[in-house]
Amino acid sequence: MKKVSDAVIRRLPKYYRYLIELEREGVMKISSGELSEKMGLNASQIRQDFNCFGGFGQQGFGYHVEVLKNEIQSILNLDKKHNCIIVGMGNIGQALAGYANFMNEGFYIAATFDVNERLVGTTVNGCKILALDEMERFVQENVVEIGIICTPEAHAMEVVERMRRCGIRAIWNFAPIDIQLEGVTVENVHLSDSLYTLSYRLSEQKNNEE
C-alpha cells in the first residue's frame, strides 16, 4: 500500500461520518463541490484526498455515496471485527464500554479489567470486569487487537508494556500522557485539548466584541 500522509488519514473518519449521514438521508450521489460545502473543506482537497486511494469519482457525475462510503469503510479497516479490551474501569472506561456506536463499526469489547477489588466481578453495560492479573491469560486465549487504556496516568505505561508483551499492537490511550512505544501503534486521546481550544476561542470572541 502506498504511504498516505497523516493529514489525509485523519480526514478519512470525517468523510466516513458525512457519507453515512448522506446515505441515511437518501442521497445517492454527490459532487466534490457539494461535499466540500457540507464539510467545510476545500473541493480540490477532497479530490486530492480521494486520489490517494485511486479516485472513486466519475468526471461529470461526482461520487456515488454508497460506493464511496464502502470504499472508505474498507480503507479504514472498519469492514472487519476488532476485539478490544479496556483496562481501567473508572468513569471513562465505563463510558467507553457502554458506547454502542463503536459496536456498530465492528469494535467489540471482549473484556474489561481493573485492579479495584470493589469493581472486579461486577458487570458494566453487559461487560464483566475482570482482575487485571487475568489480562495476560485472557489475551492468550482470545484474539485481541486493540488495548484501550483508561487507567490513571501513573499506571498507563506499565499496562501498555504488559499489553505489548502479550502481543497487542494497537493502543487507544485515554490516560493523560502521550504514549510512544516501538512496535505499537498508539492513538493518544486528550479530551482536554479541545476544551482548551474552546477556552481560547471564547477569549478571542470576547476580545473581538470589546
Q: Assign 3-class secondary structure to 166-207.
A: CCCCEEEECCCCCCCCCCCEEEECCHHHHHHHHHHHHHHHHH
Q: How far is the C-alpha of 30 from the C-alpha of 23, rounded, in Å?
A: 11
Q: Report yes or no: 130 and 113 within 8 Å, Cβ to Cβ.
A: yes
| Alpha carbons within 13 A on the beta-carbon side of 60 | 0
Question: What is the smallest separation between the CB atom of 165 and its own copies, expressed in angstroms?
Answer: 17
- Pick the binder of its own copies from 65, 145, 156, 159 (CB under 8 A): 145
Question: What is the smallest separation between the CB atom of 26 and its own copies, expressed in angstroms?
Answer: 17
What single-letter amino acid sits at 13? Answer: P
The 50-89 contact track toward its own copies, x by CB under 8 A, reads -------------------------xxxx---x-------
The crossing angle, in degrees rounded to 10, of helices 43-51 and 6-24 is 110
Q: Give whichever of 65 and 148 is closer to its own copies, judged by the CB atom.
A: 148
- Pick the binder of its own copies from 5, 116, 125, 142 (CB under 8 A): 125
Residue 108 binds to its own copies (criterion: CB under 8 A): no
Interface with its own copies (CB under 8 A): 1, 9-10, 12-14, 16-17, 39-40, 75-78, 82, 90-92, 94-96, 98-99, 101-102, 105, 107, 125, 145-146, 169-172, 176, 178, 180, 185, 187, 189-205, 207
